[in-house]
Amino acid sequence: MAAIIYTLCALTSSWCAWLLLRSYWRNAYKLLFWSGLCFIGLSVSNVLLVLDRLVFIGVDLSVWRLTVALSAMLLLLHGLISERK
């Protein structure tokens, strides 16, 4: 059951990234770009979660997962700060 949930989380965040970036390409609104980059990072973090919990059982990838997730959040924070008017 955990495998299904982890995989669905990775697919959902990838789908959100795709939708945000597609909307950015159509509208050229910068906040969509930064949000899309954030969700790409969150997708990578979720894929690392799947690899950590299901594929590489003996290897701890939690530091890598959290580093990627933090980087993704910092990208979104940068976008929010740079877009303030």
Contacts of 44 (CB under 8 A, 6+ apart): 68, 72
Evaluate if pTM is beyond 0.95. no
Domain total of the chain: 1
Task: Print the domain residue range for 58.
Answer: 2-82
Q: What pLDDT, in 10s, does the model give residues 13-57?
A: 999 999 999 999 999 889 999 999 999 999 999 999 999 888 988
pLDDT at 64: 94
CA distance 2 to 23: 32
Q: Dihedral sign, CA of 51, 9, 82, 63?
A: negative
pLDDT at 32: 93
Which of 1-5, 14-18, 46-50, 75-79 comes out lowest in average pLDDT? 1-5
